[in-house]
């Protein structure tokens, strides 16, 4: 039987040192890898109130036991304290870098990076070790930097160098991003331009991989991904009246057919990968080849009132090269357009103008104007300086993605309780609630908790998001092959443990019930919408209380001692 990886690489940029350290056996069993193990290290490494852009913040590049083994894209997690929200941040990216990193780490599960370098550096991971070298790639965009190193590359673009609070870590030339929350800004603050991985993805356990590939091929999610990947999201959201359009002023977009899945298929030059689990749709743009995702079309398309596929794809490709999160970028431009229309800023901006949107994003990334500098720190900072609170809803400082929750209370709950801010990836009940005859409070709470815990498991193993949907045993069979020996029941508890641990981190940073709020703007229906398509504040508070009770948290959203003991978190210092 295989033995689990048991080491972590520690990199101190201030000292210029790299060392290996064993992972405590108890942590391996309780957190496994990925999100869980990274969250435990982050909690122990940081003092409360640590500056996300200071040398004391830690940045972890974590893999899981299934990275490169399970079907689908290999993935890694970037884990840190977010400069956008001040909360826990885990951001995931797929592609060739992730598989190479898993191979390069050998018997390690990740790299923990602290400190700040005196000059731009690159970190190379190879044969279970790492080395630091100065680099002259500072100033290059993500695609240019990818070609400056030998190996698979994860790097920052100009947005990360300038510490834009939602800068990404770009991999594979900008085709893949550890996106929301600003992990790229943390890299920039540390003056770390790139992490280079020189390794081959693990290839053992091919029989188990084949079983899961066949299972996924006939699964509903597998058939959907093969046909549409995430690009069909814009069509679905529009159909159910949940597509945030023109800066959250409407919930349907008349231009959906021009930017949705059929337009993508017509423009595509191929798929990102072939085989039983194909990747996204490749398209040509003025910025070069790009792989637009659903979030690109929803936020940069419908959100900005742009109805031409090529224009949206090119805008997304520019964001990819700059190294900036497309959801936050689109929301920043949408806020600015509404502020312009309201006379709050002296700019001539309008929905549907992709050239003006691109110019504004260049200002944001460069921080070269007062408006650009404010928007570089998110829509809440911009609203605080210029007015326009509520133009774009945000939770914990993170602007919401384009799934409007006003027609799905469960999605509002998922957003409000997300451990990294306004994120749709922790739970997506909006895929089902709008199609139902109405969910009870109990159904809403149960669905959100089940999805949050399940994804906490899968992101600790690190499995492709979509392939993981077909893991009926939460990956127990894989872990048995790899020497972990955790049952499905133990894995379910692990998911709850990891979710609770990230909550402990956020509560320690002052983010308890007061941060679990739904923006006031969502208490009003969109123009022309039905009155019941809005979030009832009193009803939401009752829903939140039910969620806390189901989690074993008190009325402030803090874990009780009994819950900590039950989950094996009683060794955590919560003072």
Residue 209 pLDDT class (50, 70, 90 cuts) = confident
Half-sphere exposure of 345 (CA within 13 A, CB side): 25
What are the residues whose beta carbons fall under 8 Å from the beta carbon of 28, sequence distance 6 or more?
Answer: 4, 6, 37, 484
Six token digits for residue 149: 């190193």
Least confident of 211-225, 351-365, 401-415: 211-225
Identify the top-confidence range among 268-272, 282-286, 534-538. 534-538
Residue 286 pLDDT class (50, 70, 90 cuts) = confident
Mean pLDDT score, 1-18: 86
Could you read off the pLDDT of 334-343 as tens digits, one per residue? 999 999 999 9
Chain-centroid distance of CA 5 in Å reads: 25
Q: How many CB atoms lie within 10 A of CB 308?
A: 15
Residue 367 pLDDT class (50, 70, 90 cuts) = very high
Mean pLDDT score, 294-304: 94
Q: What is the mean pLDDT of the chain?
A: 93
Mean pLDDT score, 94-100: 93
- For residue 501, pLDDT over 90 is answered with yes
- For residue 372, pLDDT over 50 is answered with yes
Identify which of 275, 290, 286, 366 has the alpha carbon closest to the alpha carbon of residue 324: 366
Residue 280 pLDDT class (50, 70, 90 cuts) = confident
Give me the pLDDT at residue 531, please. 54
Give me the pLDDT at residue 562, please. 96
| Backbone angle region of 113, left / alpha / beta, with phi > 0 → left and psi within -120 to 50 → alpha | beta
- What is this structure's pTM? 0.95
- For residue 205, pLDDT over 80 is answered with no
Same fold across 7-198 and 212-399: no
- For residue 60, pLDDT over 90 is answered with yes
- For residue 1, pLDDT over 50 is answered with no
Phi, psi at residue 333, to the nearest 5°? Answer: -65, -40
Give me the pLDDT at residue 220, please. 80
Please count the helices (runs of H) and the strands (runs of E) in the chain: 23, 17
Burial of 28 (0-12, 13-18, 19+ CB in 10 A): buried
Residue 197 pLDDT class (50, 70, 90 cuts) = very high
- In angstroms, the CA 515 to CA 522 distance is 16
Mean pLDDT score, 192-205: 89
Can you name the CATH fold of 7-198? Aldehyde Ferredoxin Oxidoreductase;  A, domain 1 (3.60.9)
DSSP-derived secondary structure for 25-58:
HHHHHHH-SHHHHHHHHHHHHPPTT--TTSTT--
Bigger pLDDT: 292 vs 561: 561
Instruction: Name the residue ranges covered by the structural domains of the chain.
Output: 7-198, 212-399, 406-566
Least confident of 160-174, 214-228, 234-248, 290-304: 214-228
Q: How many CB atoms lie within 10 A of CB 147?
A: 11
- In angstroms, the CA 197 to CA 452 distance is 30
- CATH architecture of the domain formed by 406-566: Orthogonal Bundle (1.10)
Could you read off the pLDDT of 100-149 as tens digits, one per residue? 999 999 999 999 999 999 999 999 999 999 999 999 999 999 999 999 99
What are the residues whose beta carbons fall under 8 Å from the beta carbon of 463, sequence distance 6 or more?
Answer: 64, 66, 70, 72, 75, 471, 475
Kindly give the pairing relationship between strand 129-134 and strand 121-126.
antiparallel
- For residue 177, pLDDT over 70 is answered with yes
Give me the pLDDT at residue 469, please. 80
Mean pLDDT score, 558-562: 96
Phi, psi at residue 48, to the nearest 5°? Answer: -55, 140
User: Does residue 48 contact residue 359 with C-beta atoms inside 8 Å?
Assistant: no
Give me the pLDDT at residue 464, please. 84
Mean pLDDT score, 29-33: 95
Give me the pLDDT at residue 71, please. 84
- CATH architecture of the domain formed by 212-399: Orthogonal Bundle (1.10)
Share of residues in the chain with pLDDT > 90 (%): 78
Give me the pLDDT at residue 530, please. 57
Instruction: Please state at what angle helix 488-508 crosses helix 34-45, rounded to 10 degrees.
Output: 30
Share of residues in the chain with pLDDT > 70 (%): 98
Mean pLDDT score, 210-224: 81
Give me the pLDDT at residue 292, please. 83
Least confident of 91-100, 122-131, 182-191, 272-281: 272-281
Could you read off the pLDDT of 408-444 as tens digits, one per residue? 999 999 999 999 999 999 999 998 998 888 899 999 9
User: Does residue 151 contact residue 142 with C-beta atoms inside 8 Å?
Assistant: no
Could you read off the pLDDT of 441-489 as tens digits, one per residue? 999 999 999 999 999 999 999 988 888 888 889 999 989 888 888 999 9
What are the residues whose beta carbons fall under 8 Å from the beta carbon of 375, sequence distance 6 or more?
Answer: 332, 335, 336, 360, 363, 364, 381, 382
């Amino acid at each position: 039987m295989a033995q689990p990886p048991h080491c972590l690489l520690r990199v101190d940029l201030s000292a210029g040192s790299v060392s290996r350290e064993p992972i405590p056996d108890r942590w391996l069993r309780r957190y496994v890898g990925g999100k869980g193990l990274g969250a435990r290290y982050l909690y122990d490494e940081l003092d409360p109130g640590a500056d996300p852009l200071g040398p004391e913040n830690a940045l972890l590049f974590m893999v899981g036991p299934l990275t490169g083994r399970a079907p689908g894209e290999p993935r890694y997690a970037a884990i840190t304290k977010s400069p956008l929200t001040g909360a826990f941040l885990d951001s995931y990216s797929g592609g060739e870098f992730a598989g190479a990193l898993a191979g390069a780490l050998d018997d390690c599960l990740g790299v923990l990076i602290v400190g700040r370098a005196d000059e731009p550096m690159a970190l190379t991971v190879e044969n279970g070790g790492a080395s630091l070298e100065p680099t002259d790639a500072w100033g290059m965009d993500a695609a240019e930097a990818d070609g400056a190193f030998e190996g698979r590359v994860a790097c920052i673009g100009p947005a990360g160098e300038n510490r834009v609070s939602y800068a990404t870590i770009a991999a594979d030339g900008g085709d893949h991003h550890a996106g929301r929350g600003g992990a790229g800004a943390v890299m920039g603050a540390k003056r770390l331009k790139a992490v280079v991985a020189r390794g081959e993805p693990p290839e053992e356990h091919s029989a188990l991989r084949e079983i899961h590939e066949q299972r996924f091929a006939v699964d509903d999610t597998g058939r959907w991904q093969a046909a549409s990947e995430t690009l069909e999201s814009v069509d679905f959201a529009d159909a159910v009246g949940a597509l945030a359009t023109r800066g959250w002023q409407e919930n349907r977009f008349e231009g959906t057919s021009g930017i949705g899945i059929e337009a993508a298929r017509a423009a595509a030059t191929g798929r990102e990968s072939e085989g039983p689990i194909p990747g996204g749709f490749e398209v040509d743009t003025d910025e070069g080849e790009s792989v637009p995702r659903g979030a690109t079309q929803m936020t940069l398309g419908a959100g900005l009132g742009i109805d031409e596929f090529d224009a949206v794809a090119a805008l997304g490709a520019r964001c990819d090269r700059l190294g900036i999160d497309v959801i936050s970028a689109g929301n920043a431009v949408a806020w600015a357009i509404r502020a312009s229309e309201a006379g709050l800023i002296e700019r001539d901006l309008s929905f549907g103008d992709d050239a003006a949107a691109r110019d504004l994003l260049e200002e944001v990334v460069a921080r070269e104007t007062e408006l650009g500098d404010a928007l570089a720190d998110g829509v809440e900072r911009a609203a605080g300086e210029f007015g326009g609170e509520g133009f774009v809803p945000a939770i914990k400082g993170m602007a919401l993605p384009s799934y409007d929750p006003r027609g799905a209370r469960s999605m509002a709950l998922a957003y409000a309780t997300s451990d990294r801010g306004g994120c749709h990836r922790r739970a997506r009940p909006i895929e089902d609630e709008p199609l139902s005859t109405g969910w009870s409070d109990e159904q809403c709470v149960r669905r959100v908790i089940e999805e949050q815990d399940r994804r906490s498991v899968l992101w600790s193993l690190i499995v492709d998001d979509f392939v993981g949907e077909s893991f009926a045993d939460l990956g127990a069979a894989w872990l048995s092959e790899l020497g972990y020996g955790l049952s499905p029941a133990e894995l379910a508890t692990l998911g709850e443990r990891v979710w609770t641990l990230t909550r402990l981190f956020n509560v320690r940073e002052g983010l308890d019930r007061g941060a679990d709020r739904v923006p006031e703007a969502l208490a009003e229906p969109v123009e022309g919408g039905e009155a019941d398509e809005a979030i009832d504040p009193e009803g939401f508070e009752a829903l939140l209380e039910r969620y806390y009770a189901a989690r074993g948290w008190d009325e402030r959203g803090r874990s009780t001692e009994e819950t900590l003991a039950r989950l094996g978190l009683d060794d955590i210092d919560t003072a």
